Structure 1
C-alpha cells in the first residue's frame, strides 16, 4: 500500500519532461452556492490529466499514462486528499482516493463531455451530493 506521504513525494518528484505534451494542470474552484455566495478559491481540485484538441479529457492518452493522471482535493482546514483520475466501465470518469476501496469515488457529472476551459463549470458528485466547480485555470505542465 502506498501511503499518502509517499505518493505525494513521488508526484512532486516528477518533472515536466515526465509528462506527454497534452497533459494539463487544471484547477477547479468551488462555484457560487448557498453557503458560498461568491464561491471559494480555497475549496476545489487540482487535476493532472491529458486533454485533446477540444479541451476534453483524452481517454487514449489517459490509458497510456494512468499513473500520471492525478487529483488533489483541497479544503480549508483539512489535509489534502491525493488520488487518481480513473475511467469507469461505460466511459464515465471519477476521482479515486482510496487504494483499498473503502472510500467511494467522486464521480464527475458527464466529465467525458465537459470542456476544461477557464470559466466553464464542472459538476462533481461528492459525498453529500453534487457540487459545482468553475475551471479557474488550465496550464501546460
Structure 2
C-alpha cells in the first residue's frame, strides 16, 4: 500500500434512473477499498492487499451478496461474488473515479444493465494492523 493510501468504507446508493426517479437508498453497495490521497482507488494496494478489498451488495437494506473487488486480465475492476464469471459486476472506469460523497459511480450488473450509484459516505477504516 502506498504511503498515502488508506482503507475506506464507501457506501454507494442507487442514483436517479427511469425506474427509480428518486433513486433508491435501499439498493447499493458497501465497499472496503484502499484510496489514495486524491480519494481514488489505490491500484497497488488493491493488488497487494486483495483479501481486504470487500464488497457487500444490499437490496431493501438486507445483504444480498458478499464478495471482493478484483481486477480482470484486461485491467477492468469488478465485484466478484461467487466463483466463475456469471455473477460478476463491472465498474465503469473505477480506477478513474473519486470516491467522495456526491460523486457518481457506474456499475454494470451481471444481467448487463448499467446502473449509476451515488457515493453517500466515505470514511477511514482501521483494519486492525492487517
TM-score category (smaller protein):
0.7 to 0.9
Structure 2: runs of 5 or more not aligned: 126-130
Q: Which has the higher strand share?
A: 2
Structure 1: runs of 5 or more not aligned: 1-20
Q: How does 1:56-135 map to 2 (within 5 A)?
A: 56-76=40-60, 79-98=63-82, 100-101=83-84, 103-126=86-109, 127-135=111-119
TM-score (norm 2): 0.86
Q: How many residue pairs are counted as aligned between the two chains?
A: 121
8 Å Cα contact 2:15/2:118 also seen in 1: yes
The Cα of 1:104 is off from its aligned counterpart by 3.0
1:28 equivalent in alignment to 2:12: yes
TM-score (norm 1): 0.80
8 Å Cα contact 1:91/1:112 also seen in 2: no
Q: Which runs of 4+ in 1 moved over 3 A?
A: none
Return the match for 1:38 from 14, 22, 25. 22
Q: Which has the higher helix share?
A: 1
Distance 2:94 2:6 in 1: 17
8 Å Cα contact 1:26/1:138 also seen in 2: yes
Considering only aligned residues, what root-mean-square deviation do their CA atoms show, in Å? 1.8
